[in-house]
Amino acid sequence: MSDPLPLMLVGVGAGLLAGLFGVGGGIMFVPALVLFAGLSHLEAEATSLLAVVPVAAVGAWRQHTYGNLRLRPGLLVGVLAIGGSLAGVVIANAVPERGLEYGFAALLVFTAYQLIREEDDEEDTDDADHDG
Amino acid sequence: MPKTLQLAAVGTVAGLFSGVFGVGGGVVIVPLLALALGYPTRVAAATSLAAIAVIAAAAGALHAIYGNTDPVEAAVVGFPAVLGVVAGTALQQHIPIRTLRLGFALLLIIVAITLVV
């Protein structure tokens, strides 16, 4: 087996990211598994998914204790995303990938702008509630 | 549009994007819940984690059938990450919404850059 220390450090960082922003952590797992464990890209993606399961599940459970989780909507989104991703794989194989990637990158930047721009006064009022 | 249909749309769109681009669902689910459905930022992040657990379990199981997964390396990187997510969710409760949104926006821009280069 490879030297586990770099992978463990990346793991902690990915978990922090997952907890802070509600992502799975795969964005850090995949490159780390290629780099430090010598896995192929496919193996790294597959292994990353396996690692994401307990991270997302424990994160959701912790968020539940903080009163932030809407479980049924989350499960509904998750189940339907499975079907959507199968369709996505079909689309990815049918259209030129490069154009799609530029389009999606632009959409992400636009979304980032929207997130920063939008004022959400309703939320800042409930900041104190979470400690109780 | 009824709430259930909206959530169904979010799930389908998130799945489509992750299927086409190989990005994780959270990058798509969190902004959709926060911007399109008006979820508070922390609630969007929390709910996204539940969805991701389902998606990763299904996709991970499929990969395991094909023999692509390395359970030992998954544990090496995954267990510290579970500690990280416990700390991250705790920390998140004390970070102002604006800072969280700014951080997430930065994350989206990094993902956008990795897609293009």
CA dihedral B103, B108, B109, B114 (to 10 degrees): 130
Query: Among A1, A45, A115, A125, which would you mutate to test the B interface (most chain B Cβ atoms within 10 Å of its Cβ)?
Result: A115
Measured CA to CA, the distance from residue A40 to residue A43 in angstroms comes to 5
What is the rounded distance in angstroms from the CA atom of residue B33 to the CA atom of residue A79? 16
Chain-centroid distance, C-alpha A74: 13
Single out the residue of A42, A55, A71 nearest to residue A16, CA to CA. Answer: A55
What stretches in chain B show pLDDT beneath 50?
Answer: none
E strand or H helix that includes residue A95 = none
Quick one: pLDDT at residue A48?
92
The tokens for A128 are 């104190």
- Cβ-defined contact of A20 to B88 (cutoff 8 Å): yes
**Mean per-residue pLDDT for A52-61?**
97
pLDDT of residue A131: 39
pLDDT tens string A13-47: 999 999 999 999 988 999 999 999 999 988 998 89
| Contact between A70 and B84 (Cβ < 8 Å) | no
Question: Residue A34: what pLDDT?
Answer: 92
The answer to whether B77 contacts A18, with C-beta atoms less than 8 Å apart, is no
Provide the residue type at A35 as one letter: L
| One-letter amino acid for residue A57 of the chain | A
Q: pLDDT value at position B81?
A: 98
For residue A98, what pLDDT band results from cuts at 50, 70 and 90? confident
When pLDDT is averaged across residues A94-117 and rounded to a whole number, the result is 84
pLDDT at A125: 47
Structure confidence at residue A119 as a pLDDT band (50, 70, 90): low
B contact residues 38-77, partner A, Cβ 8 Å cutoff: 39-60, 63-64, 66, 68-77
What local confidence, expressed as pLDDT, does residue A90 receive? 80
Cα distances from B35 to residues A50, A87, A99, B32, B83, in angstroms, run: 29, 24, 25, 5, 29
**Short-list A87, A59, A102, A48, CA closest to B85:** A59
CA–CA distances in Å: residue A37 to residues A40, A43, A48: 9, 10, 12
A92/A8: higher pLDDT: A8
The whole-number pLDDT of residue A1 equals 55
Chain A closest-CA separation from residue B77 CA (Å): 5
pLDDT at A128 over 50: no
> Does residue A124 have a pLDDT over 60?
no
Q: Does A67 have pLDDT greater than 50? A: yes
Predicted model pTM = 0.89
Residue A41 in contact with partner chain B when CB distance is under 8 A: no
Burial class (CB in 10 A: 0-12, 13-18, 19+), A43: buried
CA angle B55, B58, B61 (to 5 degrees): 140
Rg (CA), chain A: 18
In whole angstroms, what is the distance from residue A59 CA to residue B83 CA?
10
Contact A101, B28 (CB under 8 A): no
Lowest mean pLDDT among A33-47, A61-75, A110-124, B90-104: A110-124
Q: How confident is the model at residue A97 (pLDDT cuts 50, 70, 90)?
A: low
- pLDDT higher at A54 or B16: A54
